[in-house]
């Protein structure tokens, strides 16, 4: 192999430090977090297989290391329900616009992330309200979770962006933070190995791609190592907050970067968002005042 150095390869590699810190902590997110930089500098033809290949050594390492902390039952459900969707998605790749799919998925993931950030961040830390009663797992909730899982398989097969939807299911199914990360890791071992095989068969691995990977792997390793150490120092509540912040970043970026904006639509969106945020903030601090007064009288 003829090694090639380009400054773009180094810049993309530096982005992997951030992406793999998140991956080492949560078990997902490195490819999507780094995708704007990766695809922007390398192009999608090289960037997509790059994102697949760079994860493989770390996924296999963590899968072997954490094999005793994998929820095999839930992993089996995920694989079984995603597999048909991946095959369907590979067919739909030629039928659906990637931009349309990203807008829809981005909107769904953003809404889910915002709802859960309200639950795990705003309610306990700002409003000072705690959920004392565990909410029952209803048929509607289970249907929603499995629907996210099936849809996640379809969009992953079509556009390699099903991770956020699959995460929605796994967060509810696997409560322990280490089991969640290791179960997600094992899932990406399965899915990314399949993608890597297909990409290799299609001739994606050129000298340029291999050179970019050699530069980035040590940098990714640094981020991954510190992400794994960080997971040891946080509790489940902090872990969930980090996961939903990551999902919000992924979902909102996927949504906003694929909407065909015009000057008028952008202005209307900004005004609407400002009004909604103002109303939400007013309501939050109104509830906070009531709860603080209750706590002071106890």
- 263-289 pLDDT per residue, tens: 888 899 999 999 999 999 999 888 888
Q: Are residues 214 and 73 in the same domain?
A: yes
Q: Are residues 253 and 268 in the same domain?
A: no
Q: Are residues 226 and 274 in the same domain?
A: no
pLDDT band for position 90 (cuts 50, 70, 90) = low
Question: In total, how many domains does the chain have?
Answer: 2
> Is the pLDDT confidence value at 136 over 90?
no
> Is the pLDDT confidence value at 135 over 80?
no
Q: Are residues 285 and 206 in the same domain?
A: no
Distances (CA, A) of 272 to 110, 266, 268: 16, 10, 6
Q: Are residues 222 and 91 in the same domain?
A: yes
Q: Are residues 186 and 239 in the same domain?
A: yes
> Is the pLDDT confidence value at 234 over 80?
yes
Q: Are residues 227 and 279 in the same domain?
A: no
Of 101-110, 225-234, 274-283, least confident by mean pLDDT is 101-110
Q: Say what the pLDDT of residue 144 is.
A: 83
Determine, yes or no, domain membership for 174: yes
Determine, yes or no, domain membership for 2: no
Determine, yes or no, domain membership for 63: yes
In this prediction, residues 171-179 reach a mean pLDDT of: 83
Q: Are residues 122 and 24 in the same domain?
A: yes
Q: Are residues 291 and 255 in the same domain?
A: no
> Is the pLDDT confidence value at 165 over 70?
yes
Q: Are residues 36 and 56 in the same domain?
A: yes
CA angle, 112 then 113 then 119, to 5°: 95
pLDDT band for position 254 (cuts 50, 70, 90) = confident
Q: Are residues 242 and 287 in the same domain?
A: no
pLDDT band for position 86 (cuts 50, 70, 90) = confident
Q: Are residues 134 and 192 in the same domain?
A: yes
Q: Say what the pLDDT of residue 180 is.
A: 87
Provide the residue range defining the domain that includes 283.
261-298
């Amino acid at each position: 192999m003829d090694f090639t150095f380009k400054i773009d390869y180094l810049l993309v590699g530096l982005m992997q430090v951030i992406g793999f810190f998140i991956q080492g902590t949560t078990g997902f997110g490195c490819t999507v977090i780094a995708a704007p930089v990766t695809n922007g500098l390398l192009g999608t033809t090289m960037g997509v297989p790059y994102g697949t290949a760079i994860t493989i050594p770390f996924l296999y390492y963590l899968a072997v290391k954490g094999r005793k902390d994998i929820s095999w039952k839930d992993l089996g459900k995920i694989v079984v329900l995603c597999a048909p969707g991946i095959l369907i998605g590979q067919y739909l790749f030629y039928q659906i616009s990637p931009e349309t799919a990203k807008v829809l998925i981005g909107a769904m993931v953003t809404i889910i992330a915002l709802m859960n950030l309200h639950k795990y961040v705003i309610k306990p830390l700002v409003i000072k309200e705690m959920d004392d009663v565990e909410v029952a797992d209803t048929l509607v909730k289970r249907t929603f979770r499995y629907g996210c899982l099936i849809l996640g398989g379809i969009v992953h097969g079509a556009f390699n962006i099903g991770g956020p939807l699959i995460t929605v299911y796994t967060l509810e199914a696997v409560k322990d933070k280490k089991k969640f990360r290791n179960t997600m890791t094992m899932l990406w071992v399965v899915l990314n190995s399949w993608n890597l095989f297909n990409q290799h068969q299609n001739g994606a691995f050129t000298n340029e791609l291999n050179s970019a990977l050699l530069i980035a792997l040590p940098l990714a390793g640094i981020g991954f190592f510190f992400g794994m150490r960080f997971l040891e120092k946080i509790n489940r509540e902090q872990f969930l907050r980090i996961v939903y912040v990551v999902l919000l970043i992924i979902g909102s970026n996927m949504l906003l970067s694929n909407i065909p904006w015009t000057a008028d639509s952008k202005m209307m969106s900004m005004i609407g968002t400002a009004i909604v945020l103002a109303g939400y903030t007013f309501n939050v601090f109104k509830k906070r005042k009531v709860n603080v007064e209750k706590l002071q009288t106890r």
